[in-house]
Structure 1
Amino acid sequence: MIGCLCIHGYTGGPYEVQPLVDYLEQRTDWKFEVPTLPGHGRELDLKGHYYQEWIATAELAYLELKKTCDKVYIIGFSMGGMIASYLSAKHEVDRLVLLSAAGKYISVPQMYKDLTGFLTEAFRGSLEENELFLHYQNKLKQTPFPSSVEFVKCVQFTRPFLKDIHNPVLIVQGKQDEMVPDKAAIYLEQEIPSEDKQLVFLNESKHLICHGKDKEELFETVISFLTR
């Protein structure tokens, strides 16, 4: 049996990767694990949680899959991509998919572009209808500063393990990502020594890549990589 572990990002939840999970579930007989990292989910409760807990939760989910599965694939989104990279370096992982992985952060040019758009919409009186603005406004209200420090620590801790990844890797990055810059994907490709790695840019996708305009292309790219 094949197991597939999907890890969401910082201040997110399983909903970030759920469209991809649904797509794969409909087309495979794999066993899926999509854990909610401590303090995360639709309603955030991050205070008092540490990056070690987030890594440990994902690692336990991997170990549960490994009990019954001959092969394990890991898909990681944003911070979850860095946790996935750590697990791939430490454990026996057959294939690794990194989506908008936060190896480097933040995309200042794209964020400036988005903020400029927010200001324009504010003058027009339509800002409250902007889903991207509402998404980040809600997250900012629920995110304590110490938790963001834990996010940075998580990235810093997992980054050195990139050099120990030798299994097949697919790296996918949205060209309009407002959080993770293009250079993050290029950095990952350069740091990971695997001889079997593929880098794909999606022109119309922002950070929430599984919900973006290119999601059908994303889904087809991922399943092709995992089943080839």
Structure 2
Amino acid sequence: MTSTTSPTLVPGAEPFSADGGRTGFLLSHGFTGSPASMTPWGKHLAGLGHTVRVPRLPGHGTTWKDMNKTRWDDWYGEVDAALTDLRACCDHVVVAGLSMGGCLALRLAEQRSADVDAVVLVNPAVNVARFDIKLVPVLQWLVPAMPGIGNDIKLPGQDEVGYDKTPLRALASQLKMWKATRADLAAVTQPLLVFKSDDDHVLDPSSVELIRAGVSSKVSELVPLHESYHVATIDNDAQLIFDRTATFVAEHVGTPDD
């Protein structure tokens, strides 16, 4: 793993890691979020005996100004290193991601197909129809940040430990990652499980539509989430995500570790 704990790390944003059986899970959080959105899922999987990595993406969990110094290849480099770590100790690896983490998971499946056995996405982000987002490549040179998009959660009392501002240079880089990932979606052949919230105040439906139309996966399942907003991994449908993922992996990757 390449990330280290920063002196300015916000409490709750720490990465999570657990060593277990020969089936590994790589869980990636979203843009301006932190491992806090994925760690409960990771702990659930670890409790089932699996090996788990929940990395903290560079520039996250500290300050939005730190994040504005990072680019998408930094975030991809972190999950790429985590995948290499898991492949060294696991027979099978499932990559999963929330929002931008879903884009990173897809990119891993595209670039390292032999190392990824299945893909699980929760409200994945590879596109957005908002007009102001189209202006970001120019706006990034005029203002450093826009209002934040974090904590879109229906369940009271939950916190993804994210930023209250959206760093625009980092966002402009994310748009480039989206474009690159969309262009290579046909390279995704692994079994695909997608969770999509009915009520999502961060993303419109276009990302899920583009992904499902673009991949080459013979198995592609869509599960609607009726009681959660964007950060569904720590919302009302979290247990549904956990349970359905376990069933999907058992059916399409293999039985639980012997």
CA RMSD after TM alignment: 2.3
Higher helix share: 1
2:9 matched residue in structure 1? none
After superposition, the Cα gap between the structure-2 partners of 1:100 and 1:107, relative to the gap in structure 1 and judged at 3 Å, is farther
Give CA deviations for 1:115-167 in whole Å, capped at 9, x if unaligned: xxxxxxxxxxxxxxxx759979x7243x3321211221221222222110111
1:35 matched residue in structure 2? 55
Shift of 1:11: 0.4
CA contact (8 A) 1:103 1:184 kept: yes
TM-score between both structures, scaled by the size of structure 2: 0.73
Report the residue type matching 1:139 in the other structure: Y
Give percent identity, aligned residues only: 27
Matched, 1:10 2:31: yes
- List gaps (5 residues or longer) in structure 1: 109-130
CA contact (8 A) 1:163 1:192 kept: yes
After superposition, the Cα gap between the structure-2 partners of 1:42 and 1:200, relative to the gap in structure 1 and judged at 3 Å, is farther
Aligned residues: 203
Aligned equivalents of 1:151 and 1:104: distance in 2?
10
CA contact (8 A) 2:152 2:231 kept: no
Shift of 1:184: 2.1
Aligned equivalents of 1:218 and 1:106: distance in 2?
26
CA contact (8 A) 2:29 2:97 kept: yes
TM-score between both structures, scaled by the size of structure 1: 0.82
Matched, 1:220 2:243: yes
1:120 matched residue in structure 2? none
Give CA deviations for 1:52-79 in whole Å, capped at 9, x if unaligned: 1111111011011111211111011111
Aligned equivalents of 2:228 and 2:62: distance in 1?
22
After superposition, the Cα gap between the structure-2 partners of 1:19 and 1:43, relative to the gap in structure 1 and judged at 3 Å, is farther
Report the residue type matching 1:149 in the other structure: A
Aligned equivalents of 1:23 and 1:226: distance in 2?
14
1:111 matched residue in structure 2? none
2:184 matched residue in structure 1? 161
CA contact (8 A) 1:13 1:41 kept: yes
Report the residue type matching 2:54 in the other structure: V
Matched, 1:23 2:44: yes
**Could you say what secondary structure the match of 1:104 adopts?**
coil
After superposition, the Cα gap between the structure-2 partners of 1:202 and 1:39, relative to the gap in structure 1 and judged at 3 Å, is same
CA contact (8 A) 2:197 2:227 kept: yes
Matched, 1:148 2:171: yes
CA contact (8 A) 2:152 2:229 kept: no
**Could you say what secondary structure the match of 2:190 adopts?**
coil
After superposition, the Cα gap between the structure-2 partners of 1:132 and 1:66, relative to the gap in structure 1 and judged at 3 Å, is closer
